[in-house]
Structure 1
Amino acid sequence: MLPNGRPAVRRTPGRTPLAYAACAAALLFATSCGLLGDDTRQGPALTAPAGVTAQAGSATTVHVMWSRPETDADIKGYTVYRGATKVKEVPGEQHMVDVVGLHPRSAYTFSVRAEDTGGTLGPLSAKVTVTTPAAVAEDRSAPTRPGALRGHPEGGRAASLSWGASKDDKAVVSYDIYQGASKIHSVGGSETRALISGLRPGTAYSFTVKARDAADNTSPAGPALSLTTAKGSDEGPGTAPTDFRAASRRAGGAYYIDLSWTPPRTGGTVPAYRIYLDGRQATTLVWGDAPPKGTAHNSFYVGKEAGIRHRVRIRAQLPDGTWGASSAERSVTTGS
């Protein structure tokens, strides 16, 4: 305590106010330039893989497919879950896997999670449910070779394929589509067409199809088909919903727009749609466990005022999780 009653100020030897200021500036520089070990800067956030689908390949296998998350993050790999159990880990460039060793006539739920190169795990994808068919005892006969494969490009990034049905002494459970020697897609045994997406514009491809039964007997490959995608990156018309209709409806003092359409023929279910109102995306419609294969319906609120004109269209999510071409645009006026 000083004689005037003020507390004494203790100074650290060799430390002046100017020295403290210099240290603070140096610390700020080191932190901002990432020179210290505790660098809290983060890269782009991971999102969930999109377009996850599951198709029974036989009584004991399921083919799971998904697309890359909509993020700029660098993907190291994916983990596939059956329920809460990890069943497969694959590298980041792979977007499909066969899960084997399952039980016949059993329901399974699958989901997928991405991991970035820094080891960060993203959120789980939407869950998809699939049921394996019953086992067939003493089945050693493979299905017959699929019939002639036909197809055409759908713009620069997809191709529509169709083929003749195979025959089997029991039943065909699935058809596997190959690009060269690699399996790239799978559809149910009642389907004889598939939409292959995720292709590159202006590129030549060769496709073949094989049939499988419940005992995992696989047919020889059917005749090969070669085609070249268009040079542009536009989606082809075959990726768009058809027979799209829109009508106004009044209920509870408000107006709604009722929609109906036929899904594009992808060879499987379409898990989601984007609905656009007056040129802007209004919502994403995600189906539950059983998306409709026939005519689909949806209704949404647009306000309480009559005489308002709206424009509406939709897009479907394709097998690889990307979005196909838009439907025709319809105009509808509330109260008309």
Structure 2
Amino acid sequence: MRRAALLCAASALAASCGWGSAAEGGGEAAPGAPTGVTAEAGTATSVHVMWNTVAGAEAYEVYRGRTKVREVSGTERMVDVPRLRPSTAYVFTVRARDEDGRTGPPSREVRATTPAAAAEDRTPPAPPSGVRGRAAGSRAVQLSWSAAPDGTGVVSYDIEQGGTKIHSVGGNQTAAVVTGLRPGQDYAFTVRARDAAGNVSPAGRAVRITTPGADDGRATAPTGLRAGTHRADGAYHIDLTWVPPVTDGVITEYQVQLDGSQATALVFGGDAPRDRAEHTFYAGREAGVTHRVRVRAKLPDGTWGGWSAERTVTTGE
């Protein structure tokens, strides 16, 4: 990408090369370049690429050289690039794209070399042992473990939180720092080893860490909650709208509480709203019934944020 940037240095060429960071087709600026980009071989034929969240990103494009090889939603911060060749060096960059289609400049180049292909191997590595960790401030933890034995050698380690892969490091590393956490929260992390053939070990012993500090939930609570009702098919329904909390990532899952008990859970998926969310649910057939409602979001770190302010709504009004 550096050579591409040099070739496109003149403004006339920048437009034709498509690498400019100015807004494309609009007055607003395009997203910035992703930072913190890393690449580690996952197997003899794949590389794991990670990056930090870019504000306003609707999607991320991952490039191998100048070829776009993967595209993921703005809720993702990592991807596995498959179908590579063993014993080969690769260069990767990442670009962010906003909801209006404006694409930002490429990240810095990162390099990874896939290991040699192993002979037929269906035996996974042993699970990492001696997993331990400590809080590194109120929003990060530092994990370490002992190297996992494997007949052909460990290529990478996957760090999981609540059964979800959230980080990966090379097989020559036995430590990692996980960021983007919340103060005063309980977390459980496990580590798995992966060999060149793609075999993955069982998870090592879970390590549980509580980040220091306090979080009253206000910074992670949805705001601007509004509640109303409408009647349809002989029944009343409660209509909610709210503003998602500002977090390092996109909120895709919420819980709605009705009169102190969970009424429903909703998952928006890849089209999660960023500016204002809305949801409607069944509230019964009787008019004049007053209900209390509030909403909370599941945050990118896997914990639940604070509850929104509570609202009252009466069916039929």
State TM-score, norm by structure 1: 0.55
2:220 aligned residue: none
1:148 aligned residue: 130
**Among residues 188, 191, 201, which one is paired with 1:209 in the alignment?**
191
**Among residues 45, 61, 65, which one is paired with 1:79 in the alignment?**
61
List per-residue Cα deviations over 1:159-203 (Å, max 9, x = no partner).
Answer: 010112210111111111011121111111121111111222222
Contact 1:155 1:232 in 2 (8 A): no
Contact 1:62 1:132 in 2 (8 A): yes
1:332 aligned residue: none
**Among residues 205, 208, 229, which one is paired with 1:226 in the alignment?**
208
Unaligned runs of 5+ in 1: 1-39, 234-336
Contact 1:209 1:222 in 2 (8 A): yes
Is the counterpart of residue 174 in structure 1 residue 156 in structure 2?
Answer: yes
Contact 1:81 1:88 in 2 (8 A): yes
Q: How many residues align?
A: 191
**Among residues 42, 45, 61, which one is paired with 1:60 in the alignment?**
45
Letter in 1 for 2:35: A
Larger of the two Rg values belongs to structure:
1
Matches of 1:111 and 1:41 in 2, distance apart? 24
1:90 aligned residue: 72
Letter in 2 for 1:150: R
Deviation at 1:45, TM superposition (A): 4.0
Secondary structure of 2:91 counterpart: strand
2:28 aligned residue: 43
Matches of 1:201 and 1:44 in 2, distance apart? 33
Contact 2:30 2:98 in 1 (8 A): no
Contact 2:145 2:175 in 1 (8 A): yes
Deviation at 1:41, TM superposition (A): 6.8
1:114 aligned residue: 96
List per-residue Cα deviations over 1:83-137 (Å, max 9, x = no partner).
Answer: 1111111111111011111110001111000001111111111111110000011
Unaligned runs of 5+ in 2: 1-24, 216-317
**Among residues 175, 200, 208, which one is paired with 1:193 in the alignment?**
175
Secondary structure of 1:67 counterpart: coil
Q: Any runs of at least 4 consecutive aligned residues in structure 1 with deviations exceeding 4 A, and if so which?
A: none
Deviation at 1:232, TM superposition (A): 6.4
List per-residue Cα deviations over 1:6-63 (Å, max 9, x = no partner).
Answer: xxxxxxxxxxxxxxxxxxxxxxxxxxxxxxxxxx973354210011100001101111
Secondary structure of 2:106 counterpart: coil
199-208 or 129-138, which deviates more: 199-208
| Identity %, equivalent residues | 55
State TM-score, norm by structure 2: 0.58
210-219 or 183-192, which deviates more: 183-192
Deviation at 1:78, TM superposition (A): 0.4
Matches of 2:214 and 2:110 in 1, distance apart? 33
